[in-house]
Amino acid sequence: MFYLRYLGAELRRRKGRTILTATCLAFGVGLVVAVTSLSAGLDDAQSQVLEPLTGVGTEMSVARPISQEQGAGPPPDRGGGPIGLDDLGKAGERFDSYRYLSTDTSFAAVKQRQVDRVDGVEEAAAGLSLNVIHVSGKVPESSSQGSEQGGAPLGGPQSGGPPDSIDFDTLSVAGVDTSNPDLGLLTRSQITDGSYIGGSDEAVVSSSYAAQEDVAIGDTIDVGKRSFEVVGISSGAVGGQTSDVYVELGTLQKQADLKGRINAIEVSAASSSQVDAVAGRIESAFAGAEVTTSSDVADQVSGSLVDAKNLSGKLGTALAVVALLGAFGITTLVTLSSINKRTRELGTLKAIGWRQWLVVRQVAGESVAQGLLGGLAGVLIGLVAAAAIGAAGISLDASVAPASSGFGPPGGPGGGPPGADAAASAVSTVTLGAPVSVGMVLLAIALAVLGGLLAGTIGGMRTARLRPVEALRSLG
């Protein structure tokens, strides 16, 4: 009891030293809390961006990318080819045509069951992503020349681009296996408004498409020659198969004359630790397949989110460590300086019978108490900084540029119609937060107490070596 009363009296009597020591530790600890919470916020933001594709980190996307030489024409199993002038009718006639182009080489749907049997795969869901090309207008008089030349494709190298009398509209559409709403090209977690697809005549549209075309839930949209009721809005997926419209898989297969064909398989691994191994097994079992994992997508993400995360990783941690070491160093110096001024007091205690460990305990106890005060103040500073970061509403963006669909713009490589290469950078914007966990608070206080303990132990051991005669001599 005497020890605690003495400790409290010393802290009150030496208010300047107590405040200085606690303040040094508070700023060091506060910076650690702020940097750690900022790093946690960046991690949360990145997880939010990748969540639509990666779920809980165990999902993979399997596709068979298109492989063709430049200008060699459409690859096999693509689900359609370039539209030639001779396909449209006689010169001067009006026409209205739809073509369905696969974004990747299609393959038999039975491959989904083959992938599902691979060791380490928990479940797999099939999907089909297409670009629906709507070509309308009037057949130009020059169409006969195209026929004589073998039917040059619109927008191909021979034509130099589509005639002014012909209009092109492109819509990206995904066929979804609705039997598994938690895995696939569209999941329930991606629905931000409305509901998931529940029937063959229902569709979900992406938020970007809904905003661009002013589409709302309850509206009707046309996909090819079929109409669908919009029942939901989707957030889309950065790096994943993001489409304008999502419909039931069987409906799209029938409409595009691709019955029994798919071009994507979404896979869930039994464990996140098995993802790389499972990806290798799938590629071995499925010739020509390419597996994209969450880590692959994370490596392709760019934007201010990645820049901030890299800066935090490289500079933030180093800054926090330097600040903490500086706080510990200053605390130690303040403690040693205080010890030099207490030579009489501590020497007298030894002269009246205090053992060395009692002196060390006294000095260390005072420093630990100062460290605890500094830790509490530091946590308060860190909480204020974290709240300020959250209140600032800082927006960060992340984007992934999907691979080209293989058909170039008018007159470009591949000779496809405009819009056939519909892939564009998928962009996601998130608001930065700075969450502070209970564990982080306890760690910050523990660091401050540790700093006080180290400073007090060093100072106490130095004092313990003081001879009582030296202290008594200084009384004279």
pLDDT digits (tens, 9 = 90+) for 373-429: 888 998 999 899 888 888 888 776 666 555 443 333 333 333 343 333 333 445 567
Q: Which residues contact 15 (CB under 8 A, 6 or more apart)?
A: none
**133 occurs within a structural domain:** yes
Please give the average per-residue pLDDT across 18-43, as a whole number. 81
**449 occurs within a structural domain:** yes
**Per-chain mean pLDDT for the chain:** 75
In this prediction, residue 360 has a pLDDT band, given cuts at 50, 70 and 90, of confident
Residue with tokens 């529940």: 198
327 and 437 belong to one structural domain: yes
pLDDT: which is higher, 266 or 104: 266
pLDDT at 7 over 90: no
**pLDDT at residue 469 in the model:** 59
32 and 84 belong to one structural domain: no
9 and 109 belong to one structural domain: no
- Single-letter amino acid, residue 84: G
88 and 43 belong to one structural domain: no
| pTM of the full structure | 0.58
Please give the average per-residue pLDDT across 342-362, as a whole number. 72
Containing structural domain, residue 381? 2-50+307-394+432-473
**426 occurs within a structural domain:** no
Q: Structural domain tally of the chain?
A: 2
**171 occurs within a structural domain:** yes
326 and 242 belong to one structural domain: no
SS (H, E, C) 14-43: CHHHHHHHHHHHHHHHHHHHHHHHHHHHHH
Q: Where are the beta strands (DSSP E) in 84-225?
A: 94-102, 107-108, 121-138, 166-176, 191-194, 202-206, 220-223
357 and 389 belong to one structural domain: yes
Tokens of 149: 């030349």
Please give the average per-residue pLDDT across 55-70, as a whole number. 63
229 and 326 belong to one structural domain: no
Answer with the one of 255, 288, 321 that is the final residue of a domain.
288
267 and 157 belong to one structural domain: yes
In Å, the largest CA–CA distance within the chain is 121
The CA–CA distances, whole Å, from 473 to 33, 203, 346, 347, 466 equal 47, 93, 13, 10, 12
Range with the largest mean pLDDT of 198-202, 362-366, 431-435 = 198-202
**447 occurs within a structural domain:** yes
CB 236 within 8 A of CB 242: yes
Q: Which of 6-20, 220-234, 408-422, 430-444 has the lowest mean pLDDT?
A: 408-422
Residue with tokens 């007090």: 456
- Nearest partner of 429 among 242, 245, 208, 187, judged by Cα: 208
**pLDDT at residue 450 in the model:** 85
Pairing of strands 107-108, 264-269: unpaired
Please give the average per-residue pLDDT across 15-19, as a whole number. 80
Answer with the one of 257, 288, 319 that is the final residue of a domain.
288
90 and 127 belong to one structural domain: yes
**233 occurs within a structural domain:** yes
316 and 455 belong to one structural domain: yes
CB 404 within 8 A of CB 423: yes
Q: Which residues contact 148 (CB under 8 A, 6 or more apart)?
A: none
**404 occurs within a structural domain:** no
Q: What angle do CA 257, 259, 263 make, to 5 degrees?
A: 95
* Residue range 212-261, pLDDT digits in tens: 999 999 999 999 989 999 999 997 654 455 789 999 999 999 999 999 99
Q: Which of 80-89, 116-125, 187-196, 378-387 has the lowest mean pLDDT?
A: 80-89
230 and 102 belong to one structural domain: yes
Answer with the one of 258, 288, 318 that is the final residue of a domain.
288
**pLDDT at residue 464 in the model:** 63
249 and 111 belong to one structural domain: yes
**386 occurs within a structural domain:** yes
Q: Which residues contact 372 (CB under 8 A, 6 or more apart)?
A: 445, 448, 449, 452
